[in-house]
Structure 1
Amino acid sequence: MARKDSQQSDTPSKQGRVAQVRQVYTAARQVDRTIPWWMLLAALGVIVVCVGVGVVVGHWLYALVLSIPLAFLAALLVLSRRAERAAYRSLEGQPGAAGAALGSLRRGWYFDQQPVAVDGARGARPEDMVGAAFVYRAVGRPGVVLIGEGPDARRGKLLATERRKIERVAPGVPVVAVVVGDGADQVPVRKLSTKLTRMKPVLTKEEVSAVNKRLKSLGGLRPPIPAGMDPLRARVDRKAMRGR
């Protein structure tokens, strides 16, 4: 009876992972129509290589059977990468894109996907957010990173104000400003998390935690900002890829 219950509980889990992969594929294909062709190319490439090796060693049939799960894994890997790119592409130009991109940061960072400062927002609808400036804050071993997006004048004032607040409650801690955009000296939203993780570490883990606690005293802003697509959620579940 216990074994039967275990099998019944595993079935919905597998179905859920398949549904998740299907959902990721559907959402990504709306942005990138070439995804199925890249997946097919990856799968065929793996099969050709495996069969070729099998022919050389004299076991091409065995190699063909072995290549099928490997081809499926390669297709899922391509889907994961292309879906992530599609998610970032859908974020570009949207208000609050930087906040959604912060969700891809790895462990060791403290951040909030809601901005700590907004200038120009007058409503909760996306069209009301166009032209507004946002500032987000992330704390890690490189120090405090302020991420700004929006028009230059408004963004610059917000960044300067937030820098003064941080220097008041956490003196001596490095404060770095990063501007999200496609202009000169700006970081595209798809490269934001990479930019932050490649910064030179100057604080210890204990210092990062202490600084984050100090910054919490500044409070935060909770405007009704429309959420964008989180690139992290656009990735394929690793368990689904392994077929567990």
Structure 2
Amino acid sequence: MAKSRTPAQTKALKAEAKAARKAASKQRRTQLWQAFQMQRKEDKRLLPYMILAFVLIVGLSVAFGVAVGGFTMYLLIPLGVVLGALVAFIIFGRRAQKSVYKKAEGQTGAAAWALDNLRGKWRVTPAVAATGNFDAVHRVIGRPGVIFVGEGAPNRVKPLLAQEKKRTARLVGDVPIYDIVIGNGEGEVPLSKLERHLNKLPANISVKQMDSLESKLVALGTKVGPGALPKGPLPAQAKMRGVGRTVRRR
């Protein structure tokens, strides 16, 4: 039987948890500030856009508040400030994300990195097949079914995709199987639009079916080792990846 904690122990645990939350919050703020400084140096339009959005929204809220008058005016002004700051922050997040994808595009491991950052209930298995030239096929399980995402030279990736679809079709039955090639050519999906493309696919199966599919496909294994691809497309990617997640949380 577990011993009950004394009031002193409970207090110490609460203080420790509070300190951990403060440290995590400070780390996120520092990370965001560093990312903002990096983006500001690279993107000369960032500050003008953020300032313009903030001033415009605050100005509109003040004008509307003055026109309405009374107590509503005193509510609209702080509301406008908060809303203006939020829109400016969203502009920063969007432009920072766009900049990261632009740098990552065309680099080895970029698609695997993008899939690892997907929002929602996606089950990603990177590099289920690959060539010696770092062409790779990644498997994604989601509500649409099974999706294979290939990155690399199309003439080498397409045969890999066909092989994986054939292997998988034997196990999944009537579950839809999709294939995507990352790139900017005809019939290809740009890296920056990959998540949007996946989200547009129809929902064909339930989350419970996703679990069952994942168990079945684990048996297939992969044709390559875990070190077949680099962890991410950019040396400083870990920082920006954390920033993206922080922006989404807010």
TM, length-normalised to structure 1: 0.80
Q: Does 1:54 align with 2:58?
A: no
Q: Which digits, 9 at most, give the CA deviation of each residue in 1:69-109, with x for residues without a partner?
A: 33222221211121121121121111121111113433332
User: In 2, distance between residues paired with 1:65 and 1:104?
Assistant: 35
User: In 2, distance between residues paired with 1:76 and 1:53?
Assistant: 23
Task: Say if 1:148 and 1:216 are closer, same or farther in 2 by CA, change over 3 A.
Answer: same
Query: Which deviates more from structure 2 when the two are superposed, residues 70-79 or residues 175-184?
Result: 70-79
Task: Say if 1:213 and 1:27 are closer, same or farther in 2 by CA, change over 3 A.
Answer: farther
Q: What corresponds to 2:152 in structure 1? A: 150
For 1:237, what is the secondary structure of its paired residue?
helix
Consecutive unaligned residues of structure 1, counting only runs of 5 or more, are 122-131
Q: What corresponds to 2:229 in structure 1? A: 225
Q: What corresponds to 1:18 in structure 2? A: 29
**Is this contact kept in 1: 2:137–2:148, CA < 8 A?**
yes
Q: Does 1:109 align with 2:111?
A: no
Consecutive unaligned residues of structure 2, counting only runs of 5 or more, are 1-7
Q: Does 1:120 align with 2:132?
A: yes
For 1:115, what is the secondary structure of its paired residue?
strand
Deviation at 1:27, TM superposition (A): 3.9
Query: Which deviates more from structure 2 when the two are superposed, residues 166-175 or residues 43-52?
Result: 166-175
Deviation at 1:51, TM superposition (A): 1.4
TM, length-normalised to structure 2: 0.79
User: In 1, distance between residues paired with 2:130 and 2:248?
Assistant: 39
Task: Say if 1:13 and 1:169 are closer, same or farther in 2 by CA, change over 3 A.
Answer: closer
User: In 2, distance between residues paired with 1:170 and 1:134?
Assistant: 22
Letter in 2 for 1:183: G
User: In 2, distance between residues paired with 1:15 and 1:92?
Assistant: 31
Match of 1:136 among 118, 138, 144: 138
**Is this contact kept in 2: 1:24–1:236, CA < 8 A?**
no
Identity %: 29
Deviation at 1:199, TM superposition (A): 0.9
Q: Does 1:90 align with 2:94?
A: no
**Is this contact kept in 2: 1:104–1:193, CA < 8 A?**
no
For 2:33, what is the secondary structure of its paired residue?
helix
**Is this contact kept in 1: 2:65–2:76, CA < 8 A?**
yes
User: In 1, distance between residues paired with 2:248 and 2:142?
Assistant: 29
Task: Say if 1:120 and 1:29 are closer, same or farther in 2 by CA, change over 3 A.
Answer: farther
Match of 1:209 among 196, 202, 211: 211
Deviation at 1:13, TM superposition (A): 4.5
- How many correspondences in the alignment? 230
User: In 2, distance between residues paired with 1:169 and 1:40?
Assistant: 55
CA RMSD of aligned residues (A): 3.0
Greater RCO structure (CA 8 Å; 6+ sep):
1
Deviation at 1:63, TM superposition (A): 4.5
User: In 2, distance between residues paired with 1:240 and 1:164?
Assistant: 39
